[in-house]
Each structure stands twice: as structure tokens, then as C-alpha cells.
Amino acid sequence: DAGITQSPRYKITETGRQVTLMCHQTWSHSYMFWYRQDLGHGLRLIYYSAAADITDKGEVPDGYVVSRSKTENFPLTLESATRSQTSVYFCASSGDWTENYGYTFGSGTRLTVV
């Protein structure tokens, strides 16, 4: 996972609180993605970005906000956390020149909403 880091690694928050998950990559990859992984659902795309200031909704965007003011950072914010957002969140990136090497994933953030 060298080159793409997620923080925090673990987070417990209360229902209704705002929480931000951070993702940072050092390769200047154009494309960045946020997924959530839940038992029985595999990985589902929340938001993705093709470049700085360009973002688009994925499969399950409700309740989440993203921004990408710099190429290397792609934070994911839960505006008002709900228990259904308890999950493991993965950030991924890919570059224009790395198509043959797939997408690179971070180590994940395990979020628990109580």
C-alpha cells in the first residue's frame, strides 16, 4: 500500500456527528475512488474523481460528501453519521499510465457509528 495512505485506521463516532476520512496518494494519479465494504455487498463505489475539482457519484453516494482541491488528496466526509454507515472504507487510485497495473488500494478505515 506504499504511496496511498488512509487515516485514521480506526474510528468510532456517534450518530449525527460529522466525520472525515482522509486519503492521500503520492503518485499524482489522476483517478481516485472511495469504496465501502460490507458483508454481503462486496465493495460498492461511493464517489470517484477523474482529476482535481472533478468528482462524480458512484453507486451509494447518499450521506457522503467529497472534495478534491489537490490531486493528491481525496477526503470523504460523512455529514451526519448514521449506524448504516458503519463499514470499512477503502480509497483507491489509478493513473493514466498505470492502466495495466490496476487500481492501488489503501489499507482501509474501519468506521463504527454508535
Partner 1 sequence: SQQGEEDPQALSIQEGENATMNCSYKTSINNLQWYRQNSGRGLVHLILIRSNEREKHSGRLRVTLDTSKKSSSLLITASRAADTASYFCATDKRHGSRLTFGEGTQLTVNP
Q: Which parts of this chain interact with partner 1 (CB under 8 A)?
A: 1, 30-31, 33, 35, 40-45, 48, 50, 58-59, 90, 92, 94, 96, 99-108
From 34, 18, 32, 3, select the one nearest 108 (Cα to Cα): 34
Shortest distance (Å) from residue 42 CB to partner 1? 4
Choice between 14 and 101, CB closer to partner 1: 101
Contact 14, 69 (CB under 8 A): no
Shortest distance (Å) from residue 22 CB to partner 1? 15
Choice between 1 and 79, CB closer to partner 1: 1
Shortest distance (Å) from residue 88 CB to partner 1? 9
Choice between 10 and 70, CB closer to partner 1: 10
Choice between 87 and 104, CB closer to partner 1: 104
Who contacts 94 (Cβ-Cβ below 8 Å, separation ≥6)? 29, 30, 31, 33, 102, 103, 104
Contact 81, 14 (CB under 8 A): yes
CA–CA separation, 33 and 17 (whole Å):
23
Shortest distance (Å) from residue 94 CB to partner 1? 6
Contact 84, 24 (CB under 8 A): no
